[in-house]
Amino acid sequence: MTTNPETLRKRKYISNETTEQREARLECEREWKRQKRAEETSEQREARLTRMRERRREKISNENIKEREMRLNRERERKRESRVRNKENQNRQVLKQRHINIQHNEAAQNREITQRDDDNSPIRVTPLSATTISEEEHHILQNFCEKMDNIRYNSCPVCNERIPLMNIVKGVCRRCYSEKSPIKKNTEKSPIKKFSAENNMDPGDVPEELKGLSEIEEMLIAQVFVVMSVYRLRGGQNGYRGNVINFPQDIHEFTKQLPRHPSSLDVLVIRRSENESTAHKDFYVRREKVAAALLWLKANNRYYKDIIINDKILRSLPENGSIIDQLPQIQNDKAIEEILGDDEEVISRTFVPSMPSTNRENVAINDTLDRMQNNNPPLMWPEIDGIPINEFQTPGYMARAFPTLYPYSRGNLRSERVRDVKPAEYFRHLMWYKDGRFARHARWRYFALNSAMRWRALQEGKIYVKQNLNDDQIDVAEIQEMIANGDTHLADRIMRYGEGLRGSRQFWMARRYELSDMIKQIGHQGLIFFTFSAADFHWPELHQLMLDDGEESDSGKQRMQNIIDNPHIAAWFFNKRFETFFHDVLVPRWNLVDWWYRYEWQHRGSVHVHRIGKKRDAPIIDWVQMKENDNEMQNVIKYIDSIVTTINPGINAAIPEQHPCQKRSNEIVDDSQDYIELINKLQRHTRCSPSYCIRVDKRTGQQKCRFGYPKDHKDRTSIREDNHGQPELVTARNDPYINPHN
């Protein structure tokens, strides 16, 4: 094949041209194309676009893996640059409009900030420092919003984790880049990374045959049955309580015949008396899907290679229908209320499940000592006929319990590895696995949490006995004799050692003592208590992280499902958003020098955080001196007005149709207007109900709001003495339903 000499001449010329010549040539070509396209008819334009689309499809179909990856990287980079340009243009418009709004607000404040009553005495209408936003604060808020907008996923090709804002160094995550991986002491370093596929930490991609299996379909084909109590919270999210126990499907060995018959599943459905039309969707089974999954597992999973597919049971499954009529059911409103409670605002104060043993401390100590003397591993249940299975010695029990998560039986916790992986590291790694399937699994995430906590509890007790009881002054027999004689000292010490078990009652007692000691050390002067709640159903930046295409959905149903499927992302985002807002906005705004906080989960599943902070240069609040010195009283009132307000600057403003938290930062043109919309939508106590705040007064027998709403109007903030001689704060208020806020 020969090349046209003119083409060769052009190529040679292009290869020798300077940068300026190249730019001039490209500009001429672009201008020529613009003129040609401007002159073409609609038919010519459609024909050109069709040819371009056809050439693109043909090129894509013929590209190899490397070319495809390069093309996708170019497209992602172009989209990123386009977003940056659009963001810069939007920010310029927003700043311009904000500057205009600030000038209007300042002019309005200068015209009139006070009003006088009939006797001409000044009446403070609005503590301006708590309700106005300065230009500097606008800038701080803008920087915060930009950080939230720029949260993106990064992936590591070594450990296959996909985490928002993952630090990437030379193409891999910082952990994989920097970790050292010796096999043993005094040996050469191994190139194997701890969380890599070479260390058996990659469970592999899910094949099409196993994708989309429902929970009940997976139970039908699982060889290990995981017993746990999972329930639906108000709001749609899931929760669990109690402990996890793993049973083989047969009494004497792992089951050889699958699928199981639905009537043999150890599933108990507890439902309310009233008809729940949506309850049956969780129990739909597709016969062909189950059959295809079993055939694939038999061919590709070593734990399933010897199974016998029971055609009779398989044919008994519905083609595409519910099996709920084959499962045991009870209608028990009381049992559900015991789980969910009557109050939607109930806080799940203990995140860790109940400890596995219900024995008293002295029995637990004796068991631990006996285990040490006999050098036995810490077994939780006896090994009798394989019921329940031994979690410490049974190979592949996780893969047998969750075949859709471990399709190739790889990546088990108890698998042989070059480098050891601790359970907490193992579960965290899979929670952030690249396709998100482990975190989205409705049972695996609770299985992982419960298993890690139970094993940690067992290990904590063993460490305590080894480190504190094995000494020359006292032996095991003497310890057991002390317990038999009623000595509770050891039991008390065991309980205190439980402080290391995160989420336990002892853990939170220790944190309480830490907070008390902290306040004694730094003093109560300048302490502020505040709470932040999650608008997890509304934040567009959060829901952008939960969808594969990166575009959030405006559907309320879709946002709800996002939270149900991705609680780990919701928790991560809330922590990141709160920490960023706290350090970038509140610390400089309030001049905080010390703080303490804890996270809590409402019973409907949403997270919030309580925090105490100490302000620098805060006035001393001494009630005795304040009553005697009016200047001190006014200084304290001025200080309080600067950090909390019950003034509604938009008392007559309409409640916005769109939830204010659903706005993107580029949609917030006026921060002051956004503030008005936020407090009218979220900070007004307008709905009293017996399930939340309505209580019966024991003295009068009348119902009233336990928070005291509606409240009286107040012209100015004051501090008065209550019936017990203690100071009572009454803030300036123009709205009987507005909550205290900043």
Indicate whether 391 and 536 sit together in one domain.
no
Alpha-carbon distance of 243 to 502, in angstroms, equals 16
Q: How many CB atoms lie within 10 A of CB 330?
A: 9
Q: What is the pLDDT of residue 123?
A: 38
Same domain, 212 and 259: yes
Query: What's the rounded Cα separation, in Å, for the pair 607 and 419?
Result: 36
pLDDT recorded at residue 200: 92
Is 576 found in the same domain as 470?
no
For the chain, how many structural domains are there in total?
3
Query: 714 or 235, which is more confident?
Result: 714
Helices (H) and strands (E) in the chain, counts: 26, 22
pLDDT at residue 713 is higher than 50: yes
Burial 472-503 (b: 16+ CB within 10 A, else e): eeeebeebbebbeeeeeebbeebeebbbbbee
Is residue 351 scored above 70 in pLDDT? no
574 and 698 both lie in a single domain: yes
pTM above 0.85, yes or no: no
- pLDDT at 3 (0 to 100): 66
- What integer is the mean pLDDT of 692-710? 86
506 found inside a domain: no
Residue 139 placed within a domain: no
Residue 510 lies in a domain: no
| Chosen domain end from 144, 167, 199 | 199
Give the Cα separation of 636 and 626 in Å (integer): 8
Residues 667 and 559 in one domain: yes
pLDDT of 373 over the 80 cut = no
pLDDT at 354 over 60: no
For residue 112, being part of any structural domain is answered with no
Q: What distance in Å separates the CA atoms of residue 380 and residue 359, rounded to the nearest whole number? A: 13
Looking at the fold, whether 468 and 599 belong to one and the same domain comes out as: no
pLDDT (average), residues 668-678: 80
Query: Residue 109: is its pLDDT beyond 70?
Result: no
For helices 65-111 and 671-682, give the axis angle rounded to 10 degrees: 90
> Is residue 118 a part of any domain in this protein?
no
Looking at 417-555, list the stretches that DSSP marks H as alpha helix, in order from N- to C-terminal side: 423-431, 437-440, 444-468, 476-484, 489-497, 505-522, 540-545
Rounded to an integer, the average pLDDT of 218-239 is 72
The model's confidence at residue 340, banded by pLDDT at 50, 70 and 90, is very low
The whole domain housing 295 covers 208-500
pLDDT score of 265: 67
Residues 175-221 pLDDT 10s: 998 886 554 444 445 578 999 999 999 999 999 999 889 888 888 88
536-579 per-position pLDDT tens digit = 888 989 988 887 654 545 677 888 888 888 888 999 999 999 99
Residues 676 and 716 in one domain: yes
If asked whether residues 180 and 218 sit together in one domain, one would say no
Whether 690 is in a domain gets the answer yes
186 and 254: one domain? no
End of a domain among 199, 233, 263? 199
Q: Is residue 683 domain-shared with residue 592, that is, in the same domain?
A: yes
The predicted structure's pLDDT at residue 505: 76
Percent of the chain with pLDDT over 70: 70
Q: Which of 324, 245, 256, 234 shows the shortest CA–CA distance to 284?
A: 324
Flag whether pLDDT at 616 surpasses 60: yes
The model's confidence at residue 313, banded by pLDDT at 50, 70 and 90, is confident
Between 384 and 364, name the one with better pLDDT.
364
**221 contacts: CB under 8 Å, gap ≥ 6:** 213, 258, 259, 260, 290, 293, 294, 297, 403
**Confidence category of residue 280, pLDDT binned at 50, 70, 90:** low
- Tell me the average pLDDT across 476-484: 70
Is the pLDDT assigned to residue 606 strictly greater than 60? yes
**280 in the same domain as 192:** no
Q: Tens digit of pLDDT for each residue in 14-68?
A: 778 888 888 888 888 888 888 888 888 888 888 888 888 888 888 888 877 777 7
Residue 720's nearest CA partner among 649, 618, 626, 641 is 626
Residue 413 falls inside a structural domain: yes
91 inside domain: no
Q: How far is CA 322 from CA 214, 264, 280, 291, 315, in A?
A: 12, 16, 7, 17, 14
Check pLDDT > 90 for residue 7. Answer: no
Domain boundary among 447, 468, 500: 500
pLDDT, residue 557, reads 82
Say whether both 469 and 533 belong to one domain: no
